[in-house]
Structure 1
Amino acid sequence: MSSKSDFDVIVVGGGLGGLSAASRAAQLGLKVAVLERGREAQYLCNSRFSGGILHISQHNVEEPAEALVQVIDEATLGQADPALVKALAHDARRAVAWLREEGAKYIRVGQIVWQQHVLAPPRPITPGLDWKGRGPDVTLRTLEANVVKRGGTVLRGTVARALMEAAGACVGVEADADGQPLQFGANAVVIADGGYQANMDLIAEHITPAPAKVKQRGAATGMGDGLRMARAMGAAVTALDAFYGHMLSRDSFHNDKVWPYPQLDELGTAGIVVDSRGERFTDEGMGGIYVANMIARLADPLSTWAVFDEDVWNGPGKGARIPANPNLVKAGGTVHQAPTLRALADTMGVPAERFELTVAAYNQALASGSLASLQPSRSSTRIPAMPIAKAPYYAVPLCAGITYTMGGLAIDPDTRVQRQGGGTLTGLYAVGAATGGLEGGSGIGYVGGLIKAATFGIRAAEAIARGRT
C-alpha cells in the first residue's frame, strides 16, 4: 500500500462544505488535501446541482442571530441541537461574507427576503437541470482553485475506504485511486462527503421501503462512505429517518425536463394529497418537504396525487421560483384536468365515491374551521389550505424527490465527531449533509443545505487550526 506524505488536514469530499473547510484551512496555513470520488473537473455533487441560495429556513442570513435562532427553532419544532443552532445563527453571516472574499458572487432576487444571497450567475427560471457555469458550479471551481493556490492538493478519482486509527484517535484515511490502495496520514480528517441518499441499502433501512420508487433529486453521489467509516470507529449518529427533498412529477423517472424543477409542493400543500384509495394520508399543511417524506414512507411511493382546483393552479401554482404553472406543462409533465371530481377520479384510477367523500370532507372542514378534526388532521399555520371547489379540477401524479439526507454523524459546534457513549473522536470532524443534529425531527425541519455546509466547513478549519497552535 502506497503512503502519501502527511497532511495537517484530509478532507473527504469536494462539495461546498468540504471545499470551504479545505480553503479556509489552507488560508490558515495548514497543509491540506481533498479526496474527491468524482473524476471530472466538474465532478457531480449536490452543491453543484443546487439552486445556489444561501438562506436559513427561508430567512435572510443577515438577520440578527437571536432572530435566526428563533427561526430555526420554529422550523425544527425546537428539536435541533441548541449548540448547533446557535453556531449557525451567529456564523452564517460571516460565512456568506467569507465566500464573497474567496471570489463567490451573489445576486439579489427582488425583495424576497430569503433570496438575497443567490450564487451568481443564477440558473434560469426554467424547468429541468441546468448547472454548468451557474453560480454553485463557478463557486466550487473558485474554491478549488484557492485550495491549490494556497499549496493544497485536490485528488479526484480518489475514494476513501477507511479511517486510520492510532491510540483511539483518527490519524488519516485509507483510500484507493484506479485500484491503487493509498494511505494519507493526517492530524485531522474532515468528513464532507454528503449524505447517504444514493445508498439504496441505507435508504431502505431508514427512509423508504421502496428505494427504487423515490427519485434521486440531486447528483446521486452521496453513498454514506463517511458515515460508514466513522461508525466503524465508534462515532455517534443522530436519527437517520428524514431527508430534504420535494414533491416532484412522477414523470421525473422518464422525463429529465421535470426535475429538479418544477417542484410541486405548492400544489399539494394548497390542496390535498391522496393515495391510490383516493384518501388523504398526511398533513399537507406541514409543507412539501414533510409531505415528500411521508410519500417516501408509503408501501408504494408512486401511488399519490396532488389534487386541487382552478384557483390553486392559477394562485399558488404560479407562486414558486420555478412554478409548476406553466413550467410543468411546458416540460411535458402530466396534468389531469376534468370538469367534475368523479371524472377526475376516473382519469386518476382511484375509487370515485371514496375520492368525492375525501374532497367533500376536506372542503367542509375548511369552511367550518375544523381542519384539525380531519383524519389525518390538517394544519394551516404554516401553509393556508384552499378549497377544492372551482372547476376545472386538477390532479398531478406525484413522487418523492430526495436531495440529501438530514441525519448523520453527531457533531459539536466545532464539528468534532461525537463518540458513542460520550466524548469526541480525537482528530475526526464532519460537516454538511454528512452530519445530523440541525435538520429533521418529527416535523422534518429544513434549515438550508448550502449555508450549513459553508458555515460548518469554515468552523471545522478554524477549530483544527486552533488545535495546532
Structure 2
Amino acid sequence: MSNHPETNVDIVVVGSGNAALCAAISARENNATVLVLERAPEHKRGGNSYFTDGAIRCAYNDLADILKLMPDVTEEEAERIVMPEYSPSDYYDDLMRVNSDKSDPELAGQLVNRSYETIKWMREQGVKFELNYENQSFEKEGKYHFWGGLPVKTENKGIGLMTNLFKRVEELGIEIWYEARAKELKKEDGRIASIVVEKDGQSLEIQTTSVVLACGSFEANKQMRSDHIGNEWQAAIVRGTEYNTGDGLSMALAVGAEKFGNWAGCHSIGTDANAPKVGDFTKPGDIFKKHSYPLSIMLNKDGKRFVDEGADFRNYTYAKYGREILKQPDHVAYQIYDTQVRPMLRKEYDLEEATFYQADRLEDLVEKLPVDKETFLKTIEEYNEAVQDGEYNPTVKDGKGTRGITPPKTNWALPIEEGPFYAFPVTCGITFSFGGLHVSPDGEVLSVDGGTLDGLFAAGEMVGGLFYENYPGGSGLMSGAVFGKLAGAAAADYSRKKNSEVTK
C-alpha cells in the first residue's frame, strides 16, 4: 500500500463488492487509474456479494445462450436439459409485476437489456458460471426442466464470484486500501474533486477526477432502518456485511444528490431464527435462509397463518414475506411440514446449522414450541379440511389450493397429516434497503436541482428506483454488475474529458 495517497488518481471506487469491483475493472479497461476503498479489513472484504447464493438473473434466448457461459457442459448433459426462453420482455415483465409497476422504466430497461452482455463480460473477466440445478430445476423422465428465469449461478456462490473478481482486480494492478472508511465528498468548481478517507487513525484527502459509490445501502444501520423502514426493523437480523451502514448515501446526499426509490422498503427473507445477528464471514453462502415455504404452512406464535404460502414460486414472494414474518409476535414464525414433503425441501434444511423441531404426532410437535397450542392445532386442522382435490405438482403453479380459509393457500396445498412432522422457526433477515440515489442509465448521480452531480457515479444497492415492494430473485447481483460496469465506463469517460481539459 502507498504511504501517501496519490493526488492524481482518476477514479476512486468506494466499496469492494460485486458492483464496486465491476466498476473498478470497467474503469481500468477504459484506461483510467483506479483506487478502491474498502471500510472492512481484508478478511471481511467483498460486501454483501460474498454472502449471496450466486444466482444471477439475465435475459437469454435459449439453451445455446446459456451454454456459451458454461463451456464445460457436455453435449450429453445438454441433451437432458429443457430450458424455456427468458426474453428481455419476460424479465422486464417480471420486474414490473413484482414491483407493482413502480420500477423506473428507464433503469429497469437498462438492467434487462444489458444483462446478457454483462454476464458475458463477467465471464471474460474470469467469473465462472454454472447451471442452477439445485434450486431452479426439477427432474422429470430423465430430463431437467428449468423454470423461473434463473438458470445461471456463479460457481461456488458469492465466494467464487468475489474470489474471481478480486483476482481480476489484482491482474489489472488496481490498488485496494482496506480499513479505509470514506467519510466526505468535496466539490470544487461545481464538481467532485476529492474524497476524505479515515485510514490508520488519520484523515486523508484524496484528489480525484471522479468517484464511484458502490458501498451498499443502510441495512446494517439500526437507526437508519428504524428511521426509514420502521421501528420493528431494529429487530431484523443483518444477513450480510456489518459495514453497509449508509455511508455512501449520507456522503452523496450531503453534496446534493437526489434520493430515489422506496426508502421505506427493503429486501428481506425468512431466515433461521437462530442465524447470526450479522453476516458471519466464516459461514458464507446464504446457508441460513429457509426457502421451501411454498410447500409449508407458516404459523405465528398465536397459532395463526398470515400469508398465502403458495401464492407464487418462491422467486417472486420471498423478498416480501420476510417483512411479514417480522410483523408477527416476537418476529418469529414456524414453517410446518410433514413427511410427504420433507424429502422435497431445499438443501439448506439438511445443514447442521438448521434449527428444527420434530415429532411423530402434531400434538407432540406443538408441545415443543412456545406457541398457543390449542389455536396452532386448530389452524392446522382447519387448513387440512380446506385442502381441495387436484394434482400436486411443485414444478408448476398447480392450482391445488384451499377453499374457505383466510389467507388461502393458492398452490401446492397438501394436508399435513403424515408423521413425522417438522417445525422450522424463522425470523426476518434484511439483505438490503431499496431506497437509494437517483442515477442516470449510465450510473451518473443526479442532483436535487435536476442536473447531474459532475464526477459522481453510483452502482449496486445504492441505485434507487429499481426495487419497491419486492424483487425477482437474482436481480440484485445482475443490477450490481450492469450498473457497476456502466458507472465504471462512464466515470472513465468523464475523467478522460476532464483530464484533457486540464492539459489543453
**Shorter-normalised TM range:** 0.7 to 0.9
Look up the match of 1:425: 453
Give the alignment's Cα RMSD to 1 decimal.
Answer: 3.1
Q: Quote the sequence identity (%).
A: 27
**Deviation of 1:13 (Å):** 0.7
Q: CA separation of 1:9/1:281 partners in 2, compared to 1, >3 Å: closer, same or farther?
A: same
Look up the match of 1:143: 168
- The answer to whether residue 479 in structure 2 is matched with residue 449 in structure 1 is no
**Deviation of 1:10 (Å):** 1.5
- The answer to whether residue 380 in structure 2 is matched with residue 359 in structure 1 is yes
Look up the match of 2:39: 37
- The answer to whether residue 335 in structure 2 is matched with residue 306 in structure 1 is yes
TM-score by length of 2: 0.78
3-state SS, counterpart of residue 185 of structure 1 = strand
Look up the match of 1:67: 90
**Deviation of 1:457 (Å):** 0.7
Alpha-carbon distance between aligned partners in 2 of 1:354 and 1:107, rounded to the nearest angstrom: 45
1:158-185 Cα deviation digits (max 9, x unpaired) = 1100111235433331111112111122
Look up the match of 1:6: 8
1:217-256 matched pairs, under 5 angstroms: 217-235=239-257, 236-253=259-276
Alpha-carbon distance between aligned partners in 1 of 2:21 and 2:365, rounded to the nearest angstrom: 50
Look up the match of 2:486: 459
Look up the match of 1:98: 121
Look up the match of 2:395: none
**Deviation of 1:306 (Å):** 1.1
Alpha-carbon distance between aligned partners in 1 of 2:403 and 2:202, rounded to the nearest angstrom: 60
Alpha-carbon distance between aligned partners in 2 of 1:57 and 1:397, rounded to the nearest angstrom: 35
Q: CA separation of 1:241/1:147 partners in 2, compared to 1, >3 Å: closer, same or farther?
A: farther
| Contact 1:69 1:85 survives alignment (8 Å) | yes
Q: CA separation of 1:259/1:14 partners in 2, compared to 1, >3 Å: closer, same or farther?
A: closer
Residue 291 of structure 2 is aligned with which of 249, 265, 274? 265
Number of residues of Structure 1 aligned to a counterpart in Structure 2 = 441
Q: CA separation of 1:20/1:307 partners in 2, compared to 1, >3 Å: closer, same or farther?
A: same
3-state SS, counterpart of residue 420 of structure 1 = coil
3-state SS, counterpart of residue 223 of structure 2 = helix
Alpha-carbon distance between aligned partners in 2 of 1:425 and 1:386, rounded to the nearest angstrom: 55
Look up the match of 2:82: none
3-state SS, counterpart of residue 284 of structure 1 = coil
Look up the match of 2:318: 288
1:303-382 matched pairs, under 5 angstroms: 303-315=332-344, 317=345, 320=346, 322-324=347-349, 327-328=350-351, 331=352, 333-367=354-388, 371=402, 374-375=405-406, 377-378=407-408, 380=410
The range that moved more, 181-190 or 110-119, is 110-119
The range that moved more, 19-28 or 206-215, is 206-215
| Contact 1:251 1:258 survives alignment (8 Å) | no
The range that moved more, 408-417 or 356-365, is 356-365
Alpha-carbon distance between aligned partners in 2 of 1:184 and 1:249, rounded to the nearest angstrom: 43
| Contact 1:48 1:140 survives alignment (8 Å) | no
3-state SS, counterpart of residue 381 of structure 2 = helix
Alpha-carbon distance between aligned partners in 2 of 1:334 and 1:58, rounded to the nearest angstrom: 38
**Deviation of 1:92 (Å):** 1.1
Unmatched 5+ stretches in structure 2: 67-85, 134-143, 312-316, 390-399, 498-504
Unmatched 5+ stretches in structure 1: 124-130
| Contact 2:51 2:285 survives alignment (8 Å) | no
| Contact 1:147 1:153 survives alignment (8 Å) | no
**Deviation of 1:370 (Å):** 7.4
3-state SS, counterpart of residue 337 of structure 2 = strand
3-state SS, counterpart of residue 174 of structure 1 = strand
3-state SS, counterpart of residue 428 of structure 1 = strand
Look up the match of 1:389: 417
| Contact 1:209 1:297 survives alignment (8 Å) | no
Q: CA separation of 1:219/1:372 partners in 2, compared to 1, >3 Å: closer, same or farther?
A: farther
| Contact 2:261 2:466 survives alignment (8 Å) | no
Look up the match of 1:413: 441
1:340-359 Cα deviation digits (max 9, x unpaired) = 43333222122222112322
Look up the match of 1:174: 196
1:310 is aligned with what amino acid?
T
1:463 is aligned with what amino acid?
A
Alpha-carbon distance between aligned partners in 2 of 1:4 and 1:212, rounded to the nearest angstrom: 40
**Deviation of 1:59 (Å):** 11
| Contact 2:302 2:329 survives alignment (8 Å) | no
1:317-339 Cα deviation digits (max 9, x unpaired) = 1xx3x341xx14xx053322234
1:276 is aligned with what amino acid?
K
| Contact 1:269 1:288 survives alignment (8 Å) | no
1:29 is aligned with what amino acid?
N
**Deviation of 1:143 (Å):** 2.8
| Contact 1:207 1:296 survives alignment (8 Å) | no
Alpha-carbon distance between aligned partners in 2 of 1:405 and 1:57, rounded to the nearest angstrom: 24
2:461 is aligned with what amino acid?
A
**Deviation of 1:71 (Å):** 2.9
3-state SS, counterpart of residue 5 of structure 1 = coil
Alpha-carbon distance between aligned partners in 1 of 2:447 and 2:49, rounded to the nearest angstrom: 28
1:48-127 matched pairs, under 5 angstroms: 48-56=50-58, 63-109=86-132, 111=144, 112=146, 116-120=151-155, 122=156
3-state SS, counterpart of residue 458 of structure 1 = helix
Q: CA separation of 1:213/1:72 partners in 2, compared to 1, >3 Å: closer, same or farther?
A: same
Alpha-carbon distance between aligned partners in 2 of 1:401 and 1:118, rounded to the nearest angstrom: 22
| Contact 1:271 1:387 survives alignment (8 Å) | no
| Contact 1:72 1:85 survives alignment (8 Å) | yes
Residue 435 of structure 1 is aligned with which of 428, 439, 463? 463
